[in-house]
């Protein structure tokens, strides 16, 4: 124990430990942790591999790019991450964004990864993680709910075995319904069977009673088998579907649409391409950046949003503080290094987080075993992926994204604050048109509502020998005109006109425009033979008003004394 303490002290200064979180937990690492982390990491890996193949389909990229995106983040986050339950890799949300901004071109996707990583790294170094606070919960819920529907319907064509369906949502719905008569029976039956199996295993896992240590060995073994099958249900269903497709292939008839050949081996370690050759010439770096447009802002922020949401959920359960700036640094390095191995942008995954929590992983080191399993799959197992039916991968995606749709959010907002339904509905509806329009419009609407509440704070006016005016929140420059109009209208409308006491108990700071507005208000009231006094001034506000040397300024220390 003494040696462990000495190693913990020798891990460098607090600043180094803050920037390299591995130095916090590595000195305390034990054999018991290693056993738990290996089990958790390998089980999560069984979820990662089939999901990675499926998410590449959502991103509109060749399937191997899903695996290329699934290992570098595991190793980088092991060193730089602050939450042991987060696993970086491709997700449904990020894959949808990549589909929108990479135009189904691997070169664009890899360059987007590199640039997103650079932006996230710069934001972390500049401590800009607070920008995430401006994306409100209704905007997030509207986006994720719309993404759940969009991604799910995008996979219906694979369930039905249809080819040549456009990716734009409304065209996709129209073409799918128009060509539903072309459905391949084999794909449809297998896809629906996989969906039913995944749903059944999910329900089974949620209702599985915990096996007590006092129960017979057979009962505990049975529990372990059922629990493992339910936890690794994605891998189990894909394996079963692959065996079915292989059996048909051996018999000489193939009613299923299979994945096909996937290049075997690890991706080359190289710089991303900063231009792209086309039959019509070369697209330069500047044009590629212009094509990505707002995606260079949306992708880094949404990546951080998913990761921090998971990390905060972990922190709330474990009394632990999450630093968004450190998460930005971790994701920035993960995406930059990931671009060197042909990864598309990655972020934290809710599904893998839940799996990790249930498995009781002990440290960020569990992710190294997950990344190792992905590397082994790339090196030795890609030839087996040939027989995986596309309908099975579609079922995996639908099963993963359906829980993201939160139908109850509409009812909750209606009860709590109906005005929040506006950014929710704007984001939700516009995301069906274009993802970026939905997110930007939702943030703008939320910002307008926020600015309106600042510009029009609640103002309480109490009648008496004098008028007592009490702003219900802090006073900022957009609100000074509202305050002046309220004070003047009530002072003049009173019979007879009365002086005013301004209760400033809720005002913690003011700016120069507010000071100028108050000076003009004092002058206007003075012309009418009325006075304005201030009470309950907080010290910072009082100092500002005294330094402004306002003509006719008078104040009382407390409202009671007034």
Asked if residue 98 belongs to a domain, the reply is yes
> Considering only CA atoms, which of 42, 51, 41, 19 is closest in space to residue 349?
51
Distance between CA atoms of residues 289 and 296, nearest Å: 8
476 and 355 in a common domain = no
* Confidence at residue 559, expressed as pLDDT on a 0 to 100 scale: 45
Torsion of CA 164, 168, 174, 175, to 10 degrees: 0
* Confidence at residue 560, expressed as pLDDT on a 0 to 100 scale: 45
Asked if residue 1 belongs to a domain, the reply is no
Beta carbons of 310 and 353 less than 8 angstroms apart: yes
490 and 374 in a common domain = no
Beta carbons of 237 and 396 less than 8 angstroms apart: yes
Asked if residue 412 belongs to a domain, the reply is no
Beta carbons of 94 and 345 less than 8 angstroms apart: yes
Asked if residue 504 belongs to a domain, the reply is yes
DSSP state of 164: S
Asked if residue 400 belongs to a domain, the reply is yes
**Total tally of structural domains belonging to the chain:** 2
Distance between CA atoms of residues 113 and 72, nearest Å: 12
Among 358, 381, 404, which residue terminates a domain? 404
466 and 397 in a common domain = no
206 and 273 in a common domain = yes
* Confidence at residue 55, expressed as pLDDT on a 0 to 100 scale: 92
339 and 270 in a common domain = yes
Distance between CA atoms of residues 189 and 161, nearest Å: 10
Number of Cβ atoms within 10 Å of the Cβ of 110: 28
Asked if residue 271 belongs to a domain, the reply is yes
DSSP string, 447-463: HHHHHHHHHS--EEEE-
179 and 104 in a common domain = yes
140 and 32 in a common domain = yes
Asked if residue 292 belongs to a domain, the reply is yes
C-alpha 130: how far from its chain's center?
14
**What CATH number is given to the structural domain containing 549?**
3.30.750.24
Partnered with residue 459 across adjacent β-strands are 471
Asked if residue 134 belongs to a domain, the reply is yes
345 and 490 in a common domain = no
Instruction: List, for the chain, all residue ranges whose pLDDT scores fall below the cut of 70.
Output: 1-18, 84-85, 211-213, 308-322, 350-364, 557-562
Among 404, 439, 468, which residue terminates a domain? 404
Q: Report residue 143 as tokens.
A: 């986006």
Residue the block writes with tokens 């704070």: 457
First-residue to last-residue Cα distance in the chain = 64
* Confidence at residue 2, expressed as pLDDT on a 0 to 100 scale: 39
Among 404, 424, 441, which residue terminates a domain? 404
| Parent domain of 132 | 14-404
270 and 171 in a common domain = yes
């Amino acid at each position: 124990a003494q040696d462990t303490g000495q190693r913990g002290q020798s891990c460098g200064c607090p600043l180094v430990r803050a920037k390299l979180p591995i130095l916090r937990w590595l000195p305390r690492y034990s054999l018991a942790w290693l056993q738990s982390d290996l089990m958790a990491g390998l089980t999560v890996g069984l979820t990662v591999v089939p999901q990675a193949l499926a998410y590449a389909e959502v991103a509109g990229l060749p399937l191997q790019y899903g695996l290329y995106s699934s290992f570098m983040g595991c190793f980088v986050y092991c060193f730089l991450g602050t939450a042991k339950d987060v696993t970086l890799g491709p997700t449904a949300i990020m894959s949808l964004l990549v589909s929108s901004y990479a135009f189904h071109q691997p070169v664009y996707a890899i360059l987007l990864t590199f640039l997103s990583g650079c932006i996230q790294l710069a934001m972390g170094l500049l401590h800009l993680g607070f920008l995430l606070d401006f994306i409100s919960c209704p905007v997030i819920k509207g986006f994720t709910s719309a993404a759940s529907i969009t991604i799910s319907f995008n996979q219906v064509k694979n369930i039905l075995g249809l080819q040549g369906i456009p990716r734009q949502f409304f065209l996709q719905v129209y073409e799918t319904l128009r060509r539903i008569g072309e459905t391949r029976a084999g794909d449809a039956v297998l896809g629906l069977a996989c969906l039913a199996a995944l749903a059944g295993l999910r329900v089974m896992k949620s209702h599985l009673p915990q096996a007590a240590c006092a129960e017979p060995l057979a009962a505990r073994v049975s529990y372990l088998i059922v629990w493992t099958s339910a936890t690794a249900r994605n891998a189990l269903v894909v394996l079963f579907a692959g065996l079915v497709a292989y059996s048909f292939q051996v018999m000489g008839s193939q009613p299923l649409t299979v994945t096909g050949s996937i290049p075997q081996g690890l991706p080359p370690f190289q710089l991303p391409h900063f231009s792209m050759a086309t039959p019509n010439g070369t697209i330069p770096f500047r044009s590629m950046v212009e094509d990505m447009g707002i995606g260079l802002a949306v992708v880094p922020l949404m990546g951080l949003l998913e990761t921090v949401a998971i990390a905060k959920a972990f922190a709330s359960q474990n009394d632990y503080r999450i630093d968004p700036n450190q998460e930005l640094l971790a994701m920035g390095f993960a995406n930059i290094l990931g671009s060197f191995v042909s990864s598309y942008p990655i972020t934290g995954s809710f599904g893998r987080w839940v799996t990790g929590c249930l498995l009781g992983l002990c440290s960020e080191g569990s992710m190294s075993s997950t990344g190792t399993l992905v590397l082994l799959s790339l090196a030795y197992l890609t030839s087996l992926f040939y027989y995986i039916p596309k309908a099975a991968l579609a079922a995996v995606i639908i099963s993963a994204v359906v829980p993201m749709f939160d139908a109850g959010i509409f009812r909750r907002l209606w009860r709590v604050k109906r005005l929040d339904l506006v950014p929710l509905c704007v984001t939700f509806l516009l995301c069906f048109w274009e993802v970026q329009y939905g997110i930007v419009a939702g943030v703008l609407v939320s910002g307008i509502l926020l600015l309106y509440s600042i510009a029009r704070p609640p103002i309480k006016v109490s009648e008496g020998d004098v008028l007592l005016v009490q702003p219900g929140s802090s006073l900022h420059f957009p609100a000074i005109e509202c305050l002046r109009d309220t004070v003047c209208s009530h002072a003049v409308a009173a019979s007879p006109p009365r002086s005013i006491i301004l209760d400033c108990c809720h005002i913690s700071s003011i700016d120069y425009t507010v000071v100028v507005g108050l000076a003009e208000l004092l002058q206007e009231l003075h012309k009418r033979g009325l006075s304005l006094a201030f009470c309950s001034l907080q010290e910072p506000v009082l100092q500002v008003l005294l330094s402004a040397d306002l003509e006719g300024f008078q104040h009382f220390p407390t409202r009671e004394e007034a």
